Amino acid sequence: MLKLVQTDWGRFDLAVDDPAQADADAAAATLVFGVLYTDAEAPASRVDDLFDRRGWYADPEAGSGLWHVRRQPLNSNARLEALAMVRTALTVRAPALTDIEVLEVTLPEPAGNISSVFLEVTGFHNGRKFIVRAPL
pTM (whole model) above 0.85: no
* Pair 69, 54: CB distance under 8 Å: no
pLDDT per residue as tens digits for the range 16-73: 665 555 566 777 888 888 888 888 888 887 777 877 788 777 787 888 888 878 777 7
Confidence at residue 112, expressed as pLDDT on a 0 to 100 scale: 55
Q: Which of 53, 107, 119 is nearest to 80 (CA)?
A: 119
